[in-house]
A and B are shown apart, each in its own frame.
Chain A
């Protein structure tokens, strides 16, 4: 038989347990999630506990969240936005109350016993929770407005006054010089910013820069940072951002802070837990 266009093959039936993250069992009670409907409303979000650890979980139909189904659904913007927001909303319900190890989207177990087994097998989760106690993540992005930078640093009176071919050459030369100055400024500013912010935090990560179209922002992204901040030091951290802003605003740099987030950037992304 010839293969038809993508057989509806592995569409599974039945249900699985979607895990959002892990908290210390003693610090969170299930009613924290009473208002969260989870990724498959109206499924109840519950805690599945084993010894000191509890997984935040809800049941999901595998017809929607099974391997084949989810790969398809990821291409559906409305579905994806909805589920990603639901995942975050569940974690945020716990964020203010207890340390929290966030799981990546789409971690699904066959049944609650397997969830418990996961908790037993990954003792590193407990150590991570201790490390994260009393902290959350803040995101800081810095954007450089090239036109603004060039206006400030591109003055070359010679070029403005010269005429004809010479003016053209001088302008070309000036543009190249300004371009070079801009890239080295961007690198230095990003480094300085990341160092200052990491110093104001427990830990810091400089993530790959997002391209213009992905960032959805005017200006070139020069820093895509995530910082693990003690809750009581949030104010001081935001002041550090404001200080950077006043240092670099004149050069065309803007900063954007997001969060508090669960510490997505400060948990290992593989199974070493």
Chain B
């Protein structure tokens, strides 16, 4: 889905994606071995990804 987008755009999409996949969606409790419900963990995840995004984003930030 992101293949044709420029790198900076892809990074933004990645953040959107992480925000959704880690933060939203149905959480069912019950006999589950794991549910990433801890908001702090989500934030940690975002921070970790940002570090890698920052290094990717240098060159192109769109025209104009």
Contact = CB atoms under 8 A, between A and B. Distances in A.
A214 B46 contact: yes
Interface residues of B, number: 42
> Chain B: interface secondary structure?
helix
B2 to A, nearest CB: 9
A215 B45 CA distance: 14
A16 interface: yes
B12 A104 contact: no
The prevalent SS among residues of A at the interface is: mixed
Interface string A34-51: 000000000000000000
A216 interface: yes
A70 B35 CA distance: 10
Given A71-B41, A78-B52, A108-B33, A273 B46 contact: no
Nearest to A104: B25
Most B CB atoms within 10 A — which of A107, A265, A273?
Answer: A107
A84 B48 CA distance: 13
Query: Interface extent on A, as a size class?
Result: 35 or more
Interface string B1-43: 1000000100111111111111111111111111111000100
Contacts of A84: 14, 17-18, 21-22
Nearest to B1: A92
Contact of B33 (A78, A85, A110, A213): A110
A265 to B, nearest CB: 5
13 contacts: A77-B48, A84-B14, A84-B18, A104-B24, A108-B32, A210-B19, A215-B12, A217-B12, A262-B25, A267-B25, A269-B25, A270-B27, A271-B30
